[in-house]
Amino acid sequence: MAEILTDISPEGLRAAVETSFFETWMALGASPRLSVYDGADMIRYVSNVPFPVLNGVMRTRFQPEEADRRIEETLSIFQSQRLPMTWWTGPSTEPDDLPSRLCEHGLEPPGQPRIGLGVDLWQLNATIGRPINLEIYVVDNAELYDECQQVLNTAHQIPEDAGRAMAEITCSAGIGEGSPFRHYLGVKDDRSIATAMLSLAGGVAGIYNQGTLPEEHREGIEMAMTLTALYEARDM
């Protein structure tokens, strides 16, 4: 297990959010379904599944004078396989103008930016207001994880083939004891309605793959799932 990050300054929390994201994908790279390149210049992962989240680039560190050439070279890897992809950017991205350069090379920014939030777990004192009849289980086998994936597919409109690949990647990267991940399934009235994944990769407790069925929104279920995972991480 990686050493726990303890810098809770604004800069430290920003770095923790990125570290969690990068290391979570590197941990998922243990799956044979992912081909991962981890270099000083970038992390690149390819799944051969035509779904943009499952193919991508992150932790980019290009020299400004080489950035456009490196963008073209990198994009050609995905284009040659006709794979949609996601190029993730953040505070540590180099050069600073990489997002605008990516747009010049034909990539489109997301309609709504994905924002990472950070908090010192020892200062977290929110109360878990568990909705009536909601039970939260820790998932420790692939069969039960399939229910998590079905919730994710519905919550985020993930195509069936992509969802199946996501489940294979997640489970083959590790599930249950000894894994850097802990998966949670929310059940209400005998129906699987919510899921979340706690990642401990990189010495940070990160929440990923969170989803709730649309008809169960605004009931406090997402908050209950998140806090359950974070408080368990704090107690480990």
DSSP string computed for 140-181: -SHHHHHHHHHHHHHHHT--HHHHHHHHHHHHHH--STT-SE
For residue 219, what pLDDT band results from cuts at 50, 70 and 90? confident
Distance CA 121, CA 118 (A): 9
196 within 8 A of 184, measured Cβ to Cβ: yes
CB 159 within 8 A of CB 167: no
* Residue-wise pLDDT tens digits, 169-190: 999 988 878 889 999 999 999 9
pLDDT single digits (tens) 138-156: 999 999 999 999 999 999 9
CATH topology of domain 121-235: Aminopeptidase (3.40.630)
Name the average pLDDT for the chain: 91
Tokens 């992390």 sit at which residue? 43
Map out the domains of the chain as residue ranges: 10-104, 121-235
How many angstroms separate the CA atoms of 16 and 3, rounded? 12
| Integer Cα distance of 153 and 151 in angstroms | 5
pLDDT of residue 5: 66
